[in-house]
Amino acid sequence: MPVVAAAVCPHPPLLIPEVASGAASDLDPLRAACLTAIEALATATTVLVVGSIPAGAPVFPRVYGADAGGSFGAYGAPGVRFGAGPEVLPLSLAVGGWLLEQSKAASLPRTYWAVPTDAVPDECVRLGREIADGNDRVGLLVMGDGSARRSEHSPVHLHPRAEIFDTTVAKALQHKDLDVLEALDPDLAGELQAAGRAPWQVLAGALAGTPLAGDLRYEAAPYGVGYFVASFT
């Protein structure tokens, strides 16, 4: 069983206190839930962070090494960075790397994989199964937001199916319903701007056949975007 623990977290840049500035306390519950969920990854020998990149990326998955750098200068916090290499990580992976830096798993070897938001579900599931077929004891950190159309104050205007979609995902994470995750419609996810669809389907493939149980630690849409935190141990 190479996947020995997994965590699901969202990737809003406001998770980083220096980015949120005076509003940092607004996301204290979400930040705390993320940090708690990823503590179990310390039982692994290596950590794999899976996140999304915009549709149309020509490489699947796009792989970044352990020294890849992440920075939040574009979000008003140029002093917050990590990694010895160039600052190449997309937002989803940069937030994942930042969370790891705050955890007991910070010293473990890590790799970052980015999958495009329009990736074919079967390819995402297959990628997850390849992870599970490896020999390393993997701690899997899956970064993904739910719908960005949950309210009139969302980044994109309210969509009537957004809350139903997010509720479906939340229940699937809670009950480790991998069939539901695998069946998420990429066209609907794209319409709802749910960036986590492809990474969640990688997770579904990676957890197939494992005895890990799901625990949904957080579910809310504080800024009109669905955020979930779950752990699998």
3-state SS string for the chain: CCEEEEEEECCCHHHCHHHHHHHHHHHHHHHHHHHHHHHHHHHCCEEEEEEEECCCCCCCCEEECCCCEEEEHHHCEEEEEECCCCECCCHHHHHHHHHHHCCHHHHCCEEEEEEECCCCHHHHHHHHHHHHCCCCCEEEEEECCCCCCCCCCCCCCCCCCHHHHHHHHHHHHHHCCHHHHHCCCHHHHHHHCCCCHHHHHHHHHHHCCCCCCEEEEEEECCCCCCEEEEEEC
pLDDT tens, 106-124?
999 999 999 999 999 999 9
Report the domain count for the chain. Answer: 1
Report pLDDT for 33.
97
Q: What CATH number should be reported for the domain holding residue 59?
A: 3.40.830.10
Instruction: State which residues form the domain around 108.
Output: 3-232
The pLDDT-based confidence of 13 (bands split at 50, 70, 90) is very high
- Work out the percent of the chain whose per-residue pLDDT is above 90: 89
Structure confidence at residue 134 (pLDDT) = 87
Per the prediction, the chain carries an average pLDDT of 95
Inform me whether the pLDDT recorded for 57 exceeds 90. Answer: no
Confidence of residue 216 (pLDDT cuts 50, 70, 90): very high
Give me the mean pLDDT over the 190-203 stretch: 98
At 155 the pLDDT is 83
